[in-house]
Structure 1
Amino acid sequence: MKKIVVMSDNHGQHDMLEYVKEKEPQADYYVHCGDSEAAYKEMLTGYICVKGNNDWSLDLPMEARFEVEGIPILITHGQYFGYFNRELAMNDLLTRNQCRVLLCGHTHTPMFLQDGNYYYINPGSTSLPRGGSERSYAVVTIDGEKISCEFKKIE
């Protein structure tokens, strides 16, 4: 069983990077889905990171791929999905990259959606929630073929 802690969209609120690690010290992986607005790349040490639409000065990839217990996972910020037919665009990206789990941010709204063998996870925003959601991050657990997600509220 592996634990992946996922955050996104802290928009320069740098204390959130350490807050999440302190709250989840037993994580196997820490993922940042973009829009950290970190002053420098080293602030993101320990995170698998991608570039968000507000990370202008950071030299980060637009997408990252890794595998956990044989499950291929893709990370992207999500600004290119649009708001109409969003899930179709997400599915297209997953299938083109031969992945089963998509971790993304951008909307500032938590989401956990399963569509057959595909999973779409957005941790929400640690700093600027939208749509009536709370400030949050996600804890994704992969145990063999079982994938679960729990959203953690930031007090």
Structure 2
Amino acid sequence: MKLLIMSDSHGWADEVVQVVDRHKHEVDELIHCGDSELQVDSKELSGVKTVKGNCDFGADFPEEIKETYGSLTLYVTHGHHYNVKMTYVPLSYRAEEVGANLVCFGHSHVADCFMEQGVLFINPGSMRLPRKPKEQTYVICDITDTEVEVSFYERVSGEKLTDLSRTYSR
């Protein structure tokens, strides 16, 4: 299974479409971790599973998404309710509560992925206003029975950022 994961596009519509169009034929699911600042019925987010971020005022997105695909339980949230700019502990507790083994979140504008207690956490960074690294990023996550490959990409060029990308055993 392959997931396209993006976050924090903050009002950009054409740029979201460019990323989706670049990868839509190679992925199984499209995920936006919030702060799209688009409307729930916007054509740019058609087919994209999107959660509500702290800047999505008036939008009717869900606060969280939980999906199960075989042995994979995916949990998506923006992260602002879990204080992810300071610590990952509340988010890890929520992952445990919902039985997730893959957690996607945004909010901090910091691209990162890490494994903790058998749960893989992915923050694709910000498509519009990155804090770290300086590149505008998104993720393609390729999940097999034995491993998960997390590949970060630069938004404009679509170039893979190998220094950020990681592979984890399942």
**Normalised-by-shorter TM-score class:** over 0.9
Deviates more, 1:96-105 or 1:144-153: 144-153
1:61-100 matched pairs, under 5 angstroms = 61-82=62-83, 83-84=85-86, 86-100=87-101
Residue 118 of structure 2 is aligned to residue 117 of structure 1: yes
The 8 Å contact of residues 3 and 141 in structure 1, kept in 2 or not, is answered as yes
Q: SS at the partner of 2:65?
A: strand
Aligned to 1:50: 51
Residue 35 of structure 2 is aligned to residue 24 of structure 1: no
For these two proteins, the number of residue pairs brought into alignment is 153
Displacement after TM superposition at 1:42 (Å): 3.0
Kindly provide the amino acid, as one letter, of the partner of residue 60 in structure 2.
D
Aligned to 2:103: 102
Tell me the TM-score normalized by structure 1.
0.92
Kindly provide the amino acid, as one letter, of the partner of residue 109 in structure 1.
V
Q: Provide the rounded CA distance (Å) in 2 between the counterparts of 1:99 and 1:81.
A: 15
Runs of 4+ with deviation above 6 angstroms: none
Query: Could you give the per-residue CA deviations for residues 96-133 of structure 1, whole angstroms, max 9, x where no partner exists?
Result: 11111110011111111011311110001111111343
Q: Provide the rounded CA distance (Å) in 2 between the counterparts of 1:107 and 1:80.
A: 12
Taking a change above 3 Å as real, the CA distance of residues 39 and 48 of structure 1, as seen in their structure-2 partners, is: closer
The 8 Å contact of residues 109 and 133 in structure 1, kept in 2 or not, is answered as no
The 8 Å contact of residues 41 and 59 in structure 1, kept in 2 or not, is answered as no
Structure 2 alignment gaps of length 5 or more = 157-170
Displacement after TM superposition at 1:54 (Å): 0.7
Q: Over aligned residue pairs, what C-alpha RMSD do you find?
A: 1.4
Displacement after TM superposition at 1:135 (Å): 0.1
Kindly provide the amino acid, as one letter, of the partner of residue 139 in structure 1.
I
Q: Provide the rounded CA distance (Å) in 1 between the counterparts of 2:124 and 2:118.
A: 19
For CA contacts below 8 A with separation 6 or more, give which structure has more relative contact order: 1
Kindly provide the amino acid, as one letter, of the partner of residue 128 in structure 2.
S
Tell me the TM-score normalized by structure 2.
0.84
